[in-house]
């Protein structure tokens, strides 16, 4: 057994423990201690990983383990981590920890809520530690199904519609992914599903391009790539706060991670062949998402479209195929995960107090809830790419990397994508100005409470992480480059 499986085991144990709880206090205790344990394990993993590396361990995947699961089809549970997956585990742990805290006082059925949430977490962690296509797919699916219940039962607004739409679309993505995985499996000789080994095998053209299209589209749906993003706005806005945080903080990253690890790394020729299509789509979605965000009036919709814009940048950077842009893409994954979680957390806090998310019905909230207000402003400034926060580092790395590409298309689209920094500033400042500043006109809002301790911990954790990435980017980019180093040779042409 791999020591990494502890990240799957803890959430599963939490589920069992939650089964025996019978009041909110116990539920809270378990969810807090479990998610804290996950966070500490993730930090420990980072430290251990880095110690191994400095000790001179140069294996591509560390802490790797391989257990045969089903011999007939040669299916394994193979786990292992490189610099990139370590960071993804850390990101997931931070999001899971803060998302569990945010729902501290969830009203209905806390036990069931946290049970399914833990199941979701187990899927996400499992996905990031897997180095076997079958295991990856298994965990990917694990993190889809609970969303239906979490949104359908604990959501708000048109929750049935949104839950159905989200799950159907994600399932649709999974179908494409599965087809692609099976294609890879058979075309490489049906010997292994281990991605490290598969990377050395070659698939003939045009099969490679077809498989790439299937896989990239499949993961693109999960990662909200235009025009497959339609589940995002409805899904996020109907989901309860912690699920929104999970959805855009982790779920969309599953798609991006898969798109890189599986589609691009295993099918580099196909990737080069078809890059231009997806480059145009993703470059377009950066600006498209930003404009769409500008036209919204519901806070969650605004952030959902902002996510589409920011995630588009991630896919865009993948398809530039140089180390700088790829580093930027993963920085953007981390950065966007943290910032959007902070945003959704603040929106959730405001919503739980004012019972509206419409920008037009708010105003002057800064006076009433300064702590949440400052958190919201920081989220906004980080999102619009202010230096000192993670967003700036990630975006700039992508822009610089992308512009180093000698292709005309790449450079023109980079310039096009940079326009998003202005549009983002417009929609963020517009929201901040309307929601927090100005006169507070609603009598009923006067008595609203500022952040409670669990909300403060949530915000402070996320802000600290955002600032850490923003001020010490080389710690993170070194980790990412550690993961990229063995892969990049096969990608850069």
Partner 1 sequence: MQYTLLILLLPLLSFVVLGLMDTKWKARVAGSVGTLVLSVVAALSYYTAWAYFSTANVGGIYQKIVPLQTVWMQFSGQLHIDLGILLDPISVMMLVVISTVSLMVHIYSLAYMKGEKGFERYYAFLSLFTFSMLGLVVATNIFQMYIFWELVGVSSYLLIGFYYTKPEAVAASKKAFIVTRFADLGFLIGILILSFYTQTFDFGVLNSGNAGIFASASGVTFMGASVLSWAMALIFIGGAGKSAMFPLHIWLPDAMEGPTPVSALIHAATMVVAGVYLVARLFPVYVTYTPDVLHGIAYVGAFTSLFAAVIACTQTDIKRVLAFSTISQIGYMMVGLGVSGYGGHEGTGYMASMFHLFTHAMFKALLFLGAGSVIHAVHSNEMQKMGGLRKYMPVTHLVFLIGCLAIAGIFPLSGFFSKDEILAATYMYSTGLGIGMSFIAGLTAFYMFRLYFNIFWGKENSYEHSPHESPLAMTIPLVVLAFFSFFGGLIPFGKFVTSDGAAYTGETNYVLAIVSVLIGITGILLAAAMYRKKTMLPDRVSQSLGFIYQLARNKFYVDELYLFITKNVFFKGMASPVSWYDRHVVNGSVNGLAVVTQWVSVKIKGIQTGKVQQYAWVFLLGTLLMAFLILFL
Binding site for partner 1 (CB under 8 A): 165, 168-169, 227, 229-230, 233-234, 288, 291-292, 294-296, 305, 322-324, 327, 364, 366-367, 381, 385-388, 392-393, 396-397, 399-401, 403-404, 411, 414-415, 418-419, 421-422, 425-426, 429-430, 433, 436-440, 473-474, 477, 481
DSSP state of 130: B
Which residue lies nearer to partner 1 by CB, 132 or 234?
A: 234
Half-sphere exposure of 170 (CA within 13 A, CB side): 26
Sign of CA dihedral 173, 260, 143, 246: negative
Which C-beta is closer to partner 1: that of 2 or that of 322? 322
Smallest gap from Cβ 345 to partner 1, in A, equals 20
Least distance between partner 1 and beta carbon 456 (Å): 13
Comparison of 13 and 421: residue with beta carbon closer to partner 1: 421
Closest separation in Å from C-beta 157 to partner 1: 15
- Give the residue with the Cβ less far from partner 1, 77 or 333: 333
The tokens for 254 are: 């599953």
Q: What minimum distance in Å lies between the beta carbon of 433 and partner 1? A: 5
CA–CA distances in Å: residue 209 to residues 16, 110, 204, 228: 44, 46, 9, 20
Min dist. Cβ of residue 492 to partner 1 (A)? 9
Name which of 79 and 477 has its Cβ closer to partner 1. 477
C-beta closer to partner 1: residue 54 or 474: 474
Measure Cα distances from 313 to 81, 233, 344, 400, 479 in Å.
25, 18, 20, 13, 20
Query: At closest approach, how far in Å is the CB of 109 from partner 1?
Result: 29
Minimum CB–partner distance for residue 321 and partner 1 (Å): 12
**Between the CA atoms of 26, 28, 33 and 38, what dihedral angle is there, to the nearest 10 degrees?**
130
Cross-strand pairs, 298: 358
Closest CA to 343 of 226, 420, 434, 248: 248
Is the CB of 12 or the CB of 421 nearer to partner 1?
Answer: 421
398 CB-side CA count, 13 A: 32
Contacts of 246 (CB under 8 A, 6+ apart): 95, 96, 99, 117, 120, 121, 124
Distance CA(142)–CA(135), nearest Å, equals: 10
Beta bridge partners, 70, equal 75
* Cα distances (angstroms) measured from residue 329 to each of 114, 241, 320, 399, 471: 31, 26, 10, 10, 17
Which residues touch 432 (CB under 8 Å, ≥6 apart)?
A: 376, 377, 380
Q: Which is nearer to partner 1, 111 or 430 (CB)?
A: 430
- Residue 390 near residue 331 (C-beta atoms within 8 A): yes
Cβ atoms of 135 and 79 closer than 8 Å: yes
Residue 120 or 290: the one with the smaller Cβ distance to partner 1 is: 290
Specify the residue, 64 or 265, whose C-beta has the smaller distance to partner 1.
265
Q: What are the residues whose beta carbons fall under 8 Å from the beta carbon of 413, sequence distance 6 or more?
A: 279, 280, 283, 316, 402
Tabulate helix, strand, coil % of the chain (nearest 5). Answer: 75, 5, 20
Query: Shortest gap between Cβ of 294 and partner 1 (angstroms)?
Result: 4
Residue reference for tokens 């700088």: 324
The distance of closest approach from Cβ of residue 289 to partner 1 in the complex, given in angstroms and rounded to an integer, is 9
Nearest residue (CB) to partner 1, 208 versus 327 = 327
Cβ of residue 374: shortest distance to partner 1, in angstroms?
Answer: 9
Q: Judged by CB, which is closer to partner 1: 104, or 315?
A: 315
**Strand pairing partners for 65?**
79
Closest approach of Cβ 44 to partner 1, in Å?
27
**Residue 306 C-beta: closest distance to partner 1, Å:** 13
Buried b (16+ CB within 10 A) or exposed e, 466-480: bbebbeebeebbebb
């Amino acid at each position: 057994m791999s020591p990494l499986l502890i990240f799957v085991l803890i959430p599963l144990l939490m589920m069992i423990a939650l089964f025996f709880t019978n009041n909110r206090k116990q539920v809270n205790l378990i969810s807090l201690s479990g998610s804290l344990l996950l966070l500490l394990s993730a930090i420990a993993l980072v430290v251990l990983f880095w110690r191994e590396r400095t000790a001179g361990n140069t294996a591509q995947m560390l802490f790797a383990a391989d257990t045969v699961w089903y011999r007939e089809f040669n299916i394994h549970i193979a786990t292992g981590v490189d610099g990139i997956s370590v960071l993804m585990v850390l990101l997931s742990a931070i999001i899971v920890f803060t998302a569990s805290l945010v729902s501290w006082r969830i009203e209905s059925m806390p036990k069931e809520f946290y049970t399914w949430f833990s199941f979701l977490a187990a899927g996400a962690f499992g996905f990031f530690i897997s180095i076997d296509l079958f295991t990856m797919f298994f965990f990917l699916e694990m993190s889809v199904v609970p969303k239906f219940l979490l949104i359908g039962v604990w959501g708000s607004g048109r929750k049935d519609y949104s839950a159905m739409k989200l799950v159907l679309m994600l399932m649709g993505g999974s179908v494409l992914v599965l087809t692609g995985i099976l294609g890879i499996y058979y075309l490489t000789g049906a010997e292994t599903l281990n991605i490290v080994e598969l990377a050395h095998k070659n698939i003939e053209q045009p099969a490679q391009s077809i498989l790439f299209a299937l896989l990239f589209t499949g993961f693109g749906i999960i990662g909200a790539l235009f025009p497959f993003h339609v589940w995002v706005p409805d899904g996020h806005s109907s989901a309860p706060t912690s699920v929104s945080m999970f959805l855009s903080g982790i779920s969309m990253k599953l798609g991006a991670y898969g798109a890189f690890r599986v589609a691009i790394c295993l099918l580099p020729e196909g990737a080069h062949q078809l890059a231009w299509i997806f480059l145009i789509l993703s470059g377009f979605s950066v600006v498209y998402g930003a404009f769409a965000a500008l036209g919204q009036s519901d806070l969650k919709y605004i952030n959902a479209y902002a996510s589409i814009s920011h995630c588009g940048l991630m896919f865009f950077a993948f398809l530039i195929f140089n180390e700088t842009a790829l580093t930027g893409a993963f920085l953007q994954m981390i950065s966007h995960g943290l910032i959007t979680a902070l945003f959704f957390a603040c929106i959730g806090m405001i919503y739980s107090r004012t019972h509206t998310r419409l920008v037009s019905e708010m105003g002057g909230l800064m006076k009433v809830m300064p702590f949440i207000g400052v958190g919201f402003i920081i989220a906004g400034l980080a999102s619009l790419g202010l230096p000192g926060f993670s967003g700036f580092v990630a975006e700039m790395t992508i822009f610089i990397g992308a512009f180093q590409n000698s292709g005309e298309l790449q450079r023109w689209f980079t310039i096009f994508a940079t326009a998003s920094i202005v549009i983002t500033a417009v929609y963020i400042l517009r929201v901040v100005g309307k929601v927090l500043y100005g006169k507070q006109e609603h009598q009923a809002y006067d008595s609203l409470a500022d952040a409670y301790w669990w909300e403060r911990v949530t915000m402070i954790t996320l802000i600290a992480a955002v600032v850490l990435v923003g001020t010490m980017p080389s710690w993170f980019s070194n980790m990412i480059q550690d993961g990229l180093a063995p892969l990049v040779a096969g990608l850069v042409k």
